Amino acid sequence: MTGHASPAALRGGRRRSRTAIAGFLAPFALLFLATYLVPAGYALYKSFFVVERDGPFGTPHDVFGGLSNYTKALGDSEFLRGIGRMLLFGVVQYPLMVALALVLALLLDTRSARLQRLMRLIYFAPYAVPSVVAALMWGFLYSPGLSPFTEGPGGLGIDVDFLGTHAILWSIANVVTWTYCGFNMIVLVTALQTIDRDLYRAARVDGASDWQIVRHIKLPLLRPALVLITVFSIIGILQLFTEPQVLSTLTGSITSDYTPSLAAFNEAGANNYSYAAAISMILAVVTAVLSTVFMRIAWRNR
Amino acid sequence: MTAALPPAQGRLRSLAPLVVLTAAAGYFLLPLWWLFVASTKSRGDLAVTPGLWFSDLALFGNLKDLFTHEDGVYVRWLVNTALYAGLGAALATLFSAMAGYVFAKHRFRGREAAFGVVLAGVLVPPAALALPLFLLFSSAELTNTYWAVLVPSAVSPLGVYLARVQVEAAVPDELIEAARMDGAGEYRIFFAIVLRLVRPALVTIFLFQSVAIWNNFFLPLIMLTDSDLYPVTLGLFSWNTQVLGDPDLTRLVVAGSLVSVVPLALAFVSLERYWRGGPLAGGVKG
> Mind listing the pLDDT tens digit for each residue in B176-226?
999 989 988 888 899 999 999 998 889 889 988 998 898 889 999 999 999
Identify the domain containing residue A145 by its residue range.
84-254
- Return the closest-CA partner of residue A185 out of B24, B156, B209: B24
Measured in Å, how far apart are chain A's first and last C-alpha atoms? 19
CA distance B243 to A221: 50
Contacts of A276 (CB under 8 A, 6+ apart): A263, A264, A265, A267, A268, B131
Which CB contacts under 8 angstroms, 24+ apart, belong to B4-13?
A: none
Closest listed residue to residue A240, CA positions, set A183, A286, A292: A286
Q: Where are the domains of chain B?
A: 73-275
- Cβ contact B173–A146 (<8 Å): no
Collapsing DSSP to helix, strand or coil, A71 comes out as helix
Note whether residue A93 is domain-resident: yes
For chains A and B, count residue pairs whose Cβ atoms are closer than 8 Å: 281
Rounded CA-CA distance A45/B90 in Å is 33
Closest Cβ opposite residue A132 in set B29, B125, B237: B237
End-to-end Cα distance, chain B? 49
Query: Of B191, B96, B104, which Cα lies nearest the Cα of A9?
Result: B104
Q: Identify the helix (H) or strand (E) that includes residue B204.
A: helix B199-215
Backbone angles phi, psi at B198, to 5 degrees: -105, 20
What is the pLDDT averaged over residues A231-236? 90
Count Cβ atoms below 10 Å from residue A114 Cβ, excluding itself. 8
- Confidence grade of residue B2 (pLDDT, cut at 50, 70, 90): very low
Distances from the Cα of B175 to the Cα of A151, A207, B21, B178, angstroms: 66, 48, 46, 5
CB–CB contact A6 B173 (8 Å): yes
What is the pLDDT at residue A151?
55
Residues 6 or more apart in contact with residue A156 via CB below 8 angstroms? none
What's the confidence (pLDDT) of residue B3? 44
Interface touch A242/B218, C-beta < 8 Å? yes
Give the total residue count for chain A. 302
Contact B251, B62 (CB under 8 A): yes
pLDDT at A262 exceeding the cut of 80: yes
A32 CB within 8 Å of a chain B CB: yes
CB contact under 8 A, B168 and A115: no
Q: Is A24 among the domain residues?
A: no
Asked if A239 reaches chain B (Cβ–Cβ under 8 Å), the answer is yes
Q: Which residues of B touch A16 (CB under 8 A)?
A: 186
**Residues of chain A contacting B267 with CB distance shorter than 8 Å:** 128
CA-to-CA dists, residue A256 to A83, A198, A280, angstroms: 13, 55, 15
The 3-state secondary structure of B175-191 reads HHHHHHHCCCCHHHHHH
Q: Are A242 and A132 in contact (CB under 8 A)?
A: yes
| Chain A residues in contact with B129 (beta carbon < 8 A) | 35-36, 39-40
- Taking the CA of residue B61 and the nearest CA in chain A, the distance in Å comes to 20
For B110-130, what is the mean pLDDT?
85
pLDDT value of residue A84: 94
Over residues B52-72, mean pLDDT: 86
A39 touching B, CB under 8 A? Answer: yes
B26 has pLDDT over 50: yes
The CATH code of domain B73-275 reads 1.10.3720.10
Integer Cα distance of B151 and A38 in angstroms: 14
Using CB atoms, pick whichever of B180, B240, B280 lies closest to residue A249: B240
Among the listed ranges A29-38, A81-90, A140-149, B145-154, which one has the minimum average pLDDT value?
A140-149
* Nearest chain B CA: its distance from A79 CA (Å): 16
pLDDT of residue B5: 47
Reference A225, options A117, A113, A140, A102; nearest CA is A102
Over residues A37-54, the mean pLDDT reads 88
B265-to-A121, B33, B88 alpha-carbon distances in Å: 10, 14, 18
Domain presence at residue A281 = no
Does A191 lie at the interface with B, CB-CB under 8 angstroms? yes
Residue B277: what pLDDT?
A: 62
Q: Is residue A32 part of a domain?
A: no
CA nearest B205: which of B263, B168, B163? B163
Find the residue in B nearest to A104 (Cα).
Answer: B21
The interface predicted TM-score (ipTM) is 0.87
Q: What is the mean pLDDT of chain A?
A: 86
Instruction: Indicate the pLDDT class of residue B28, thresholds 50, 70 and 90.
Output: very high
In chain A, residues with a C-beta closer than 8 Å to the C-beta of B127 are 239, 241-242, 261
Those residues with Cβ within 8 angstroms of residue B106's Cβ, 6 or more apart along the chain or in another chain: A5, A6, A9, A17, A20, A21
- Torsion of the alpha carbons at A157, A161, A162 and A165, rounded to the nearest 10: -140
CA A106-A109-A114 angle, 5° bins: 135
- The widest CA-to-CA distance across chain A, in whole angstroms, is 84
> pLDDT at position A95, please?
95
Across the interface, do B253 and A136 touch by the CB < 8 Å criterion? yes
Angle at B158 between CA A102 and CA B149, to 5 degrees: 115
Q: What angle do CA A46, A47, A53 make, to 5 degrees?
A: 75
Considering only the beta carbons, identify the residue of B31, B135, B285 that sits closest to A178. Answer: B31
The minimal CB distance from A107 to the residues B20, B123, B268 is found for B20
A173 reaches B (C-beta below 8 A) = no
Chain B interface includes A180 (CB < 8 A):
no
Residue B44: band (very low, low, confident or very high) from pLDDT cuts 50, 70, 90:
confident
Q: Is A88 a domain residue?
A: yes
Q: Does residue B57 surpass a pLDDT of 70?
A: yes
Query: What pLDDT does residue B271 have?
Result: 78
A19-33, A61-75, B10-24, B190-204: lowest mean pLDDT where? B10-24
Interchain pair A40, B124: CB under 8 A: yes
Q: Determine the angle formed by the axes of helices B126-139 and A273-300, rounding to 10 degrees.
A: 150
Q: Do A264 and B241 touch (CB under 8 A)?
A: no
Q: What is the pLDDT of residue B1?
A: 41
Number of structural domains (chain A) is 1
Half-sphere exposure of B48 (CA within 13 A, CB side): 5
Q: For residue B286, is pLDDT > 60?
A: no
Q: What is the DSSP string of B25-77?
A: HHHHHHHHHHHHHHTTS-HHHHHHS-TTS--S--HHHHHHHHHHHHHHHHHHH
Cβ atoms of residues A211 and A218 within 8 Å: no
Return the axis-axis angle of helices A273-300 and A260-269, rounded to nearest 10°: 160
Residue A134 lies in a domain: yes
DSSP reduced 3-state for A61: strand
Can you tell me the mean pLDDT for A138-165? 70
Which band of pLDDT confidence, cut at 50, 70 and 90, is reported for residue B274? Answer: confident
Q: pLDDT at residue A203 above 60?
A: yes
Nearest to B284 among A122, A147, A224 (CB): A224
Q: Is there a contact between B261 and A128 (Cβ–Cβ < 8 Å)?
A: yes
Overall average pLDDT of the B101-109 stretch: 91
- Within 8 A by CB and 6+ apart from B282, the residues are B162, B165, B166, B169, B201
Would an 8 Å CB–CB cutoff place A34 in contact with chain B? Answer: yes
Q: What is the pLDDT of residue B185?
A: 87
pLDDT in tens, A89-99: 999 999 999 99
CA torsion sign, A199 to A203 to A209 to A211? Answer: negative
H/E element, A206:
none
| pLDDT confidence band for A1 (50 / 70 / 90) | very low
Q: Which of B164, B260, B171, B176 is nearest to B205 (CA)?
A: B164
CA distance A49 to chain B (A): 14
Distance from CA of A59 to the nearest CA of B (A): 18
Read off the CATH number of the domain in which A121 is found: 1.10.3720.10
Q: Is the pTM above the cut of 0.90?
A: no
Q: What single-letter DSSP state applies at residue B109?
A: T
| Inter-residue contact B196 to B235 (CB < 8 Å) | no
Strands A60-64 and A49-53, by their bridges, are antiparallel
- Whether residues A186 and B275 touch (CB distance < 8 A) is answered with yes
- A178: nearest CA in chain B? B28
Q: Which of A12, A108, A127 sits opposite B180 (nearest CB)?
A: A12
Q: Which residues of B are less than 8 Å from A62 in CB distance?
A: none
- Is A60 in a helix, a strand, or coil? strand
Q: Decide if A83 touches B, using CB distance below 8 A.
A: no
pLDDT > 80? residue A17: no
Q: How far is CA A216 from the centre of its chain?
A: 29
One-letter amino acid of B116: G
